[in-house]
Protein backbone atom coordinates (compact mmCIF):
# COMPACT_ATOMS: atom_id res chain seq x y z
CA UNK A 1 0.00 0.00 0.00
CA UNK A 2 2.85 2.38 0.90
CA UNK A 3 4.76 1.58 -2.31
CA UNK A 4 1.60 2.10 -4.34
CA UNK A 5 1.09 5.50 -2.71
CA UNK A 6 4.68 6.60 -3.37
CA UNK A 7 4.44 5.63 -7.05
CA UNK A 8 1.03 7.30 -7.30
CA UNK A 9 2.28 10.65 -6.00
CA UNK A 10 5.40 10.66 -8.19
CA UNK A 11 3.27 9.94 -11.26
CA UNK A 12 0.54 12.39 -10.22
CA UNK A 13 2.97 15.30 -9.82
CA UNK A 14 4.60 14.53 -13.18
CA UNK A 15 1.20 14.24 -14.89
CA UNK A 16 -0.16 17.51 -13.49
CA UNK A 17 3.03 19.42 -14.39
CA UNK A 18 2.97 17.96 -17.92
CA UNK A 19 -0.73 18.77 -18.30
CA UNK A 20 -0.01 22.38 -17.32
CA UNK A 21 2.75 22.25 -19.94
CA UNK A 22 0.19 21.17 -22.57
CA UNK A 23 -2.04 24.19 -21.94
CA UNK A 24 0.74 26.74 -21.24
CA UNK A 25 3.52 25.84 -23.71
CA UNK A 26 4.28 28.34 -26.46
CA UNK A 27 5.50 25.64 -28.83
CA UNK A 28 3.05 23.27 -30.50
CA UNK A 29 5.46 20.33 -30.74
CA UNK A 30 6.40 20.71 -27.07
CA UNK A 31 2.69 20.66 -26.18
CA UNK A 32 2.28 17.37 -28.07
CA UNK A 33 5.30 15.89 -26.26
CA UNK A 34 3.94 17.03 -22.87
CA UNK A 35 0.70 15.26 -23.81
CA UNK A 36 2.73 12.05 -24.27
CA UNK A 37 3.94 12.37 -20.64
CA UNK A 38 0.36 12.78 -19.38
CA UNK A 39 -0.90 9.79 -21.38
CA UNK A 40 2.02 7.56 -20.37
CA UNK A 41 1.49 8.59 -16.74
CA UNK A 42 -2.14 7.61 -16.88
CA UNK A 43 -1.21 4.26 -18.45
CA UNK A 44 1.03 3.72 -15.41
CA UNK A 45 -1.85 4.70 -13.10
CA UNK A 46 -4.01 2.07 -14.86
CA UNK A 47 -1.35 -0.54 -14.06
CA UNK A 48 -1.43 0.63 -10.40
CA UNK A 49 -5.19 -0.02 -10.50
CA UNK A 50 -4.53 -3.50 -12.00
CA UNK A 51 -6.13 -2.60 -15.35
CA UNK A 52 -3.38 -4.21 -17.39
CA UNK A 53 -5.09 -4.53 -20.77
CA UNK A 54 -6.49 -0.98 -20.78
CA UNK A 55 -3.01 0.32 -19.94
CA UNK A 56 -1.53 -1.36 -23.01
CA UNK A 57 -4.39 -0.17 -25.21
CA UNK A 58 -3.73 3.33 -23.87
CA UNK A 59 -0.05 3.07 -24.85
CA UNK A 60 -0.80 1.64 -28.31
CA UNK A 61 -3.73 3.84 -29.34
CA UNK A 62 -3.12 7.12 -27.50
CA UNK A 63 0.66 7.37 -27.54
CA UNK A 64 1.05 5.37 -30.74
CA UNK A 65 -1.75 6.65 -32.95
CA UNK A 66 -3.33 9.82 -31.55
CA UNK A 67 -0.02 11.64 -30.91
CA UNK A 68 1.15 10.79 -34.44
CA UNK A 69 -2.14 12.24 -35.75
CA UNK A 70 -1.50 15.39 -33.71
CA UNK A 71 2.02 15.71 -35.12
CA UNK A 72 0.59 15.33 -38.63
CA UNK A 73 -1.97 18.02 -37.83
CA UNK A 74 0.79 20.34 -36.56
CA UNK A 75 2.85 19.79 -39.71
CA UNK A 76 -0.04 20.10 -42.15
CA UNK A 77 -1.19 23.41 -40.65
CA UNK A 78 2.43 24.65 -41.11
CA UNK A 79 2.83 25.65 -37.49
CA UNK A 80 6.07 27.49 -36.75
CA UNK A 81 8.59 25.16 -35.05
CA UNK A 82 9.61 27.86 -32.58
CA UNK A 83 8.13 29.92 -29.76
CA UNK A 84 4.83 31.41 -30.89
CA UNK A 85 3.12 33.83 -28.52
CA UNK A 86 -0.18 33.92 -30.43
CA UNK A 87 -1.35 30.45 -29.38
CA UNK A 88 -3.58 31.77 -26.58
CA UNK A 89 -6.62 33.99 -26.94
CA UNK A 90 -7.58 36.76 -24.53
CA UNK A 91 -9.86 34.57 -22.34
CA UNK A 92 -7.02 33.30 -20.18
CA UNK A 93 -8.22 34.93 -16.97
CA UNK A 94 -11.84 33.84 -17.47
CA UNK A 95 -10.66 30.33 -18.35
CA UNK A 96 -8.53 30.12 -15.21
CA UNK A 97 -11.43 31.32 -13.02
CA UNK A 98 -13.83 28.77 -14.53
CA UNK A 99 -11.27 25.93 -14.23
CA UNK A 100 -10.39 26.75 -10.60
CA UNK A 101 -14.08 27.04 -9.64
CA UNK A 102 -14.82 23.67 -11.26
CA UNK A 103 -11.79 22.13 -9.54
CA UNK A 104 -12.97 23.42 -6.15
CA UNK A 105 -16.48 22.05 -6.59
CA UNK A 106 -15.35 18.67 -7.97
CA UNK A 107 -12.60 17.99 -5.44
CA UNK A 108 -14.73 19.02 -2.44
CA UNK A 109 -17.50 16.74 -3.63
CA UNK A 110 -15.18 13.80 -4.38
CA UNK A 111 -13.28 14.05 -1.08
CA UNK A 112 -16.54 14.25 0.91
CA UNK A 113 -18.05 11.30 -0.95
CA UNK A 114 -15.02 8.97 -1.25
CA UNK A 115 -12.55 10.39 1.31
CA UNK A 116 -12.26 7.16 3.32
CA UNK A 117 -13.02 4.57 0.62
CA UNK A 118 -10.28 2.00 0.06
CA UNK A 119 -9.38 -0.46 -2.68
CA UNK A 120 -8.51 -3.81 -1.11
CA UNK A 121 -5.47 -5.21 -2.95
CA UNK A 122 -4.49 -7.96 -0.53
CA UNK A 123 -5.42 -11.65 -0.51
CA UNK A 124 -8.17 -13.17 -2.70
CA UNK A 125 -9.73 -9.75 -3.39
CA UNK A 126 -6.45 -8.60 -4.89
CA UNK A 127 -6.24 -11.58 -7.24
CA UNK A 128 -9.86 -10.94 -8.29
CA UNK A 129 -8.80 -7.37 -9.09
CA UNK A 130 -5.87 -8.56 -11.20
CA UNK A 131 -8.09 -11.11 -12.95
CA UNK A 132 -10.62 -8.36 -13.81
CA UNK A 133 -7.92 -6.47 -15.70
CA UNK A 134 -6.84 -9.35 -17.95
CA UNK A 135 -7.58 -9.33 -21.68
CA UNK A 136 -9.56 -12.58 -21.43
CA UNK A 137 -11.98 -11.28 -18.80
CA UNK A 138 -12.49 -8.05 -20.73
CA UNK A 139 -13.01 -9.95 -23.99
CA UNK A 140 -15.73 -12.08 -22.38
CA UNK A 141 -17.46 -8.93 -21.23
CA UNK A 142 -17.10 -7.11 -24.58
CA UNK A 143 -18.28 -10.03 -26.69
CA UNK A 144 -21.24 -10.99 -24.47
CA UNK A 145 -22.76 -8.07 -22.56
CA UNK A 146 -21.38 -5.26 -24.71
CA UNK A 147 -21.41 -6.85 -28.16
CA UNK A 148 -23.93 -4.35 -29.58
CA UNK A 149 -21.97 -1.23 -28.48
CA UNK A 150 -18.85 -2.95 -29.84
CA UNK A 151 -20.43 -3.30 -33.30
CA UNK A 152 -21.70 0.29 -33.11
CA UNK A 153 -18.18 1.50 -32.33
CA UNK A 154 -16.84 -0.29 -35.40
CA UNK A 155 -19.50 1.43 -37.57
CA UNK A 156 -18.56 4.76 -35.92
CA UNK A 157 -14.88 4.20 -36.73
CA UNK A 158 -15.75 3.44 -40.38
CA UNK A 159 -17.94 6.55 -40.57
CA UNK A 160 -15.26 8.78 -39.05
CA UNK A 161 -12.64 7.31 -41.43
CA UNK A 162 -14.80 8.14 -44.45
CA UNK A 163 -15.74 11.51 -42.93
CA UNK A 164 -12.10 12.48 -42.39
CA UNK A 165 -11.21 11.50 -45.97
CA UNK A 166 -14.15 13.48 -47.41
CA UNK A 167 -13.34 16.54 -45.28
CA UNK A 168 -9.60 16.60 -45.96
CA UNK A 169 -9.82 15.75 -49.67
CA UNK A 170 -8.56 18.41 -52.06
CA UNK A 171 -10.82 18.85 -55.10
CA UNK B 1 -7.02 5.76 -1.66
CA UNK B 2 -9.95 6.07 -4.07
CA UNK B 3 -10.22 9.81 -3.56
CA UNK B 4 -6.64 10.53 -4.62
CA UNK B 5 -7.19 8.96 -8.05
CA UNK B 6 -10.49 10.81 -8.44
CA UNK B 7 -8.96 14.15 -7.43
CA UNK B 8 -6.06 13.59 -9.86
CA UNK B 9 -8.65 13.02 -12.62
CA UNK B 10 -10.52 16.17 -11.55
CA UNK B 11 -7.29 18.23 -11.69
CA UNK B 12 -6.50 16.94 -15.20
CA UNK B 13 -10.08 17.60 -16.32
CA UNK B 14 -9.95 21.21 -15.07
CA UNK B 15 -6.60 21.80 -16.80
CA UNK B 16 -8.28 20.51 -19.98
CA UNK B 17 -11.21 22.92 -19.46
CA UNK B 18 -8.74 25.81 -19.10
CA UNK B 19 -6.98 24.71 -22.31
CA UNK B 20 -10.21 24.53 -24.31
CA UNK B 21 -11.21 28.02 -23.10
CA UNK B 22 -7.85 29.77 -23.39
CA UNK B 23 -6.22 28.26 -26.49
CA UNK B 24 -6.61 29.84 -29.93
CA UNK B 25 -4.94 27.20 -32.10
CA UNK B 26 -7.31 24.42 -33.22
CA UNK B 27 -4.79 21.61 -32.72
CA UNK B 28 -4.16 22.73 -29.13
CA UNK B 29 -7.90 22.84 -28.39
CA UNK B 30 -8.13 19.21 -29.57
CA UNK B 31 -5.17 18.31 -27.30
CA UNK B 32 -7.00 19.83 -24.33
CA UNK B 33 -10.09 17.78 -25.22
CA UNK B 34 -7.85 14.70 -25.11
CA UNK B 35 -6.74 15.70 -21.59
CA UNK B 36 -10.39 15.81 -20.50
CA UNK B 37 -11.23 12.43 -22.09
CA UNK B 38 -8.17 10.92 -20.42
CA UNK B 39 -9.30 12.24 -17.02
CA UNK B 40 -12.64 10.49 -17.56
CA UNK B 41 -10.78 7.25 -18.30
CA UNK B 42 -8.90 7.48 -14.99
CA UNK B 43 -12.25 7.89 -13.23
CA UNK B 44 -13.72 4.86 -15.01
CA UNK B 45 -10.75 2.63 -14.17
CA UNK B 46 -10.76 3.79 -10.53
CA UNK B 47 -14.41 2.94 -10.08
CA UNK B 48 -13.86 -0.35 -11.90
CA UNK B 49 -11.23 -1.29 -9.28
CA UNK B 50 -13.29 0.09 -6.37
CA UNK B 51 -16.54 -1.71 -7.30
CA UNK B 52 -14.73 -4.82 -8.66
CA UNK B 53 -16.57 -4.55 -11.97
CA UNK B 54 -15.21 -5.14 -15.47
CA UNK B 55 -17.73 -2.72 -17.02
CA UNK B 56 -15.66 0.35 -16.14
CA UNK B 57 -12.68 -0.98 -18.09
CA UNK B 58 -14.88 -1.87 -21.09
CA UNK B 59 -16.26 1.69 -21.05
CA UNK B 60 -12.71 3.05 -20.89
CA UNK B 61 -11.83 1.00 -23.99
CA UNK B 62 -14.85 2.48 -25.79
CA UNK B 63 -13.84 5.99 -24.72
CA UNK B 64 -10.31 5.43 -26.07
CA UNK B 65 -11.73 4.23 -29.42
CA UNK B 66 -14.13 7.15 -29.71
CA UNK B 67 -11.35 9.60 -28.77
CA UNK B 68 -9.28 8.24 -31.66
CA UNK B 69 -12.21 8.72 -34.08
CA UNK B 70 -12.81 12.22 -32.69
CA UNK B 71 -9.19 13.25 -33.24
CA UNK B 72 -9.30 11.98 -36.82
CA UNK B 73 -12.38 14.00 -37.74
CA UNK B 74 -11.33 16.98 -35.61
CA UNK B 75 -7.94 17.28 -37.29
CA UNK B 76 -9.59 17.00 -40.72
CA UNK B 77 -11.83 19.93 -39.73
CA UNK B 78 -8.84 21.97 -38.48
CA UNK B 79 -7.07 21.22 -41.77
CA UNK B 80 -10.12 22.45 -43.71
CA UNK B 81 -10.21 25.63 -41.60
CA UNK B 82 -6.52 26.15 -42.30
CA UNK B 83 -7.10 25.68 -46.03
CA UNK B 84 -9.99 28.16 -46.08
CA UNK B 85 -8.65 31.01 -43.94
CA UNK B 86 -4.89 30.21 -44.09
CA UNK B 87 -4.66 30.07 -40.30
CA UNK B 88 -5.42 27.39 -37.69
CA UNK B 89 -6.70 30.03 -35.24
CA UNK B 90 -10.28 29.37 -34.22
CA UNK B 91 -11.12 32.98 -33.27
CA UNK B 92 -10.59 34.10 -36.84
CA UNK B 93 -13.66 32.11 -37.84
CA UNK B 94 -15.90 35.18 -37.46
CA UNK B 95 -17.66 35.26 -40.84
CA UNK B 96 -21.01 34.87 -39.08
CA UNK B 97 -20.61 37.82 -36.68
CA UNK B 98 -22.22 40.91 -38.14
C-alpha to C-alpha distance for A148 and B59, rounded to whole angstroms: 13
The reply to whether residue B25 touches residue A28, judged by beta carbons under 8 angstroms, is yes
ipTM of the complex: 0.92
| Angle, vertex CA B51, rays to CA B45 and CA B57, nearest 5 | 30
- Among B5, B13, B27, the residue with its CB nearest the CB of A70 is B27
Residue A139: Cβ within 10 Å count: 12
Instruction: Specify the number of domains making up chain B.
Output: 1
* Range 18-57 of A in CB contact (< 8 A) with B: 19-20, 22-23, 28, 31-32, 35, 38-39, 42, 45-46, 49-51, 53-54, 57
Contacts 24+ apart (CB under 8 A), B36-39: B36/B12, B37/B63, B37/B67, B37/B70, B38/A38, B38/A39, B38/A42, B38/A62, B38/B12, B39/B9, B39/B10, B39/B12, B39/B13
- Among B21, B42, B52, the residue with its CB nearest the CB of A98 is B21
Query: What residues make up the domain containing B43?
Result: 2-89
> What are the sequence ranges of the domains in chain A?
1-81, 134-171
Confidence (pTM): 0.92
C-alpha to C-alpha distance for B44 and A17, rounded to whole angstroms: 22
B84 falls within a domain: yes
Which of B33, B47, B49, B86 is the best residue to mutate to test the A interface, defined by the most A CB atoms within 10 Å of its own CB? B49
B97 falls within a domain: no
DSSP string, A4-16: HHHHHHHHHHHHH
C-alpha to C-alpha distance for A106 and B94, rounded to whole angstroms: 34
Per residue in A82-103, pLDDT (tens digit) is: 777 777 888 889 999 999 999 9
The reply to whether residue A98 touches residue B18, judged by beta carbons under 8 angstroms, is yes
C-alpha to C-alpha distance for A12 and A6, rounded to whole angstroms: 10
Torsions phi, psi of A49, nearest 5? -90, 15
CB A14 within 8 A of CB A58: no
DSSP state of B20: H
C-alpha to C-alpha distance for A123 and A120, rounded to whole angstroms: 8
Which of A109, A115, A167, A170 is the best residue to mutate to test the B interface, defined by the most B CB atoms within 10 Å of its own CB? A167
- Among B2, B35, B54, the residue with its CB nearest the CB of A132 is B54
CB B49 within 8 A of CB A125: no
**Radius of gyration of chain A measured on its C-alpha atoms:** 20
B95 falls within a domain: no
The reply to whether residue B31 touches residue A70, judged by beta carbons under 8 angstroms, is yes
Count of A-B CB contacts under 8 Å: 242
Per residue in B53-77, pLDDT (tens digit) is: 899 999 999 999 999 999 999 999 9
**What residues form DSSP beta bridges with A88?**
B23
Per residue in B27-45, pLDDT (tens digit) is: 999 999 999 999 999 999 9
B96 falls within a domain: no
CATH number (domain holding residue B78): 1.10.287.3510
CA atoms within 13 A on the CB side of A90: 1
Per residue in A91-140, pLDDT (tens digit) is: 889 999 999 999 999 999 999 998 888 887 777 778 888 888 889 999 99
CATH architecture of A1-81: Up-down Bundle (1.20)
Amino acid sequence: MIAQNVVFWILAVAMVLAAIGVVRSNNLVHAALYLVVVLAGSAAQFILLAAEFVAWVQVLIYIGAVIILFLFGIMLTRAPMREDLSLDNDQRLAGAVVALFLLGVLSTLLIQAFGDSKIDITGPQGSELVNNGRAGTLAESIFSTYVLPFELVSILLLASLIGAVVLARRD
Amino acid sequence: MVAQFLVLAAVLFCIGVYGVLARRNGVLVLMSVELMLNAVNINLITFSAYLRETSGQVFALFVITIAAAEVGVGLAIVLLIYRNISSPDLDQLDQMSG
